[in-house]
């Protein structure tokens, strides 16, 4: 009877597997970027074959050239800075309002009954629907855009804060009270840290929504920023710049989310053993 014996020497496929594992361990970000290679390649191929007219579907090369030109003219860095600044300002304001509001709703039954339905209703209205009336009140400017961002960031953060507070083990609150903590101290020492993992999730979601709201506002209303870049390019009929804007958007968000927000979320949750992965 012939017994099949596996080849003791690693073959080509095995060597590939080892290489992939090592890549994943040493440079995880590089490994995460690998799937984009076939995407970019098929993009390049589709554009090169002119499956769609070149004016409608430019290739990666055209986009890169456009990027270099815009950087050179100083437009891209300036717009990028504008967008990011607005987002930071709006998001910080939003968070500064949302967390206390969330704590209030989470801890007070009465506040919950009164405030929860309007909260849900206004969340349903959405930030975009506010633009027309904001334009009447504040015109085409920074105030309008900041309002939209604050509005959008508010809801995920409030909702997740409330969720976080509700999921705190009640024994922790009882323990704090029996150890003599005042209401204020309890909030600072027990409630906020206890709800922190959920707050971080809310923050992460809120920033995502805020980013999108910013772009929408810039497209419809703006005078500068990446969203405006895309809107202006559309007016000029320049698909290349629109694509550039979208890629910059996606990359920026991806980087911020993967390298800043996700690690923070993981660090708070996992460190305290509160979130299982």
4 binds another protein per the rule CB under 8 A: yes
33 touches another protein by CB under 8 A: yes
* Alpha-carbon dihedral angle through residues 232, 233, 234, 239, given to the nearest 10 degrees: -170
Q: What is the 3-state secondary structure (H, E, C) of the chain?
A: CCCCCCCCCCCHHHHHHHHHHHHHHHCHHHHHHCCHHHHHHHHHHHHHCCCCCCCCCCCHHHHHHHHHHHHHCCHHHHHHHHHHHHHHHHHHHHHHHHHHHHHHHHHCHHHHHHHHHHHHHHHHHCCHHHHHHHHHHHCCCHHHHHHHHHHHHHHHHHHHHHHHHHCCCHHHHHHHHHCCCCHHHHHHHHHHHHHHHHHHHHHHHHHHHHHHHHHHHHHHHCCCCHHHHHHHHHHHCCHHHHHHHHHHHHHHHHHHHHHHHHHHHHHHHHHCCCCCC
Q: Does 260 bind another protein (CB under 8 A)?
A: no
Q: Does 12 bind another protein (CB under 8 A)?
A: no
Q: Kindly state whether residue 138 participates in binding another protein, applying the rule CB under 8 A.
A: no
Q: Is residue 61 close enough to count as binding another protein by CB under 8 A?
A: no
Taking the complex as a whole, the smallest distance from the CB of residue 189 to another protein amounts, in Å, to 30
Q: How many residues bind another protein (CB under 8 A)?
A: 64
Question: Which residue's CB is nearer to another protein, number 191 or number 245?
Answer: 245
* 35 is an interface residue for another protein by CB under 8 A: yes
Q: Counting contacts by CB under 8 A, is residue 14 touching another protein?
A: yes
Residue 109 interacts with another protein (CB under 8 A)? no
Residues numbered 199 to 238 that lie near another protein (CB under 8 A) are 208, 212, 215-216, 219-220, 227, 230-231, 233-234, 237
Q: Based on CB atoms, which residue is closest to another protein, 9 or 178?
A: 9
Q: Footprint of another protein on residues 116-135 (CB under 8 A)? A: 116-118, 120-122, 124-133, 135
Enter the DSSP assignment of 259.
I
User: Could you say which of 27, 36, 41, 259 contacts another protein (CB under 8 A)?
Assistant: 36
Chain contacts with another protein (rule: CB under 8 A): 1, 3-8, 10, 14, 17-18, 20-21, 32-36, 39, 56, 113-118, 120-122, 124-133, 135-137, 208, 212, 215-216, 219-220, 227, 230-231, 233-234, 237, 239, 242-243, 245-246, 249-250, 253-254, 257
């Amino acid at each position: 009877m012939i017994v099949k014996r596996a080849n003791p020497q690693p073959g080509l496929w095995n060597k590939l597997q080892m290489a992939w594992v090592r890549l994943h361990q040493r440079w995880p970000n590089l490994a995460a970027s690998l799937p984009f290679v076939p995407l970019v390649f098929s993009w390049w191929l589709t554009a090169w074959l002119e499956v769609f007219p070149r004016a409608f579907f430019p290739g990666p090369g055209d986009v890169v050239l456009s990027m270099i030109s815009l950087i050179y003219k100083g437009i891209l860095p300036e717009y990028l800075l504008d967008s990011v600044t607005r987002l930071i300002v709006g998001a910080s304001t939003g968070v500064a309002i949302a967390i206390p509001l969330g704590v209030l709703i989470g801890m007070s039954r009465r506040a919950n009954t009164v405030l929860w339905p309007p909260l849900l209703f206004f969340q349903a209205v959405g930030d975009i629907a506010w633009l027309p009336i904001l334009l009447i009140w504040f015109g085409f400017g920074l105030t309008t855009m900041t309002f939209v961002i604050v509005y959008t960031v508010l809801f995920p953060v409030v909702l997740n804060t409330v969720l976080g507070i509700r999921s705190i083990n009640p024994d922790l609150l009882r323990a704090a009270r029996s150890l003599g903590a005042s209401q204020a101290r309890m909030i600072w020492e027990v409630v906020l840290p206890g709800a922190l993992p959920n707050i971080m999730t809310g923050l992460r979601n809120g920033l995502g929504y805020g980013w999108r709201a910013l772009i929408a506002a810039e497209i419809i209303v703006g005078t500068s920023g990446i969203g405006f870049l895309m809107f202006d390019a559309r007016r000029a009929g320049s698909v290349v710049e629109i694509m550039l804007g979208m890629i910059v958007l996606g990359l920026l968000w991806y980087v911020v989310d993967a390298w800043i927000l996700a690690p923070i979320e993981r660090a708070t949750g996992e460190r305290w053993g509160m979130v299982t992965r």
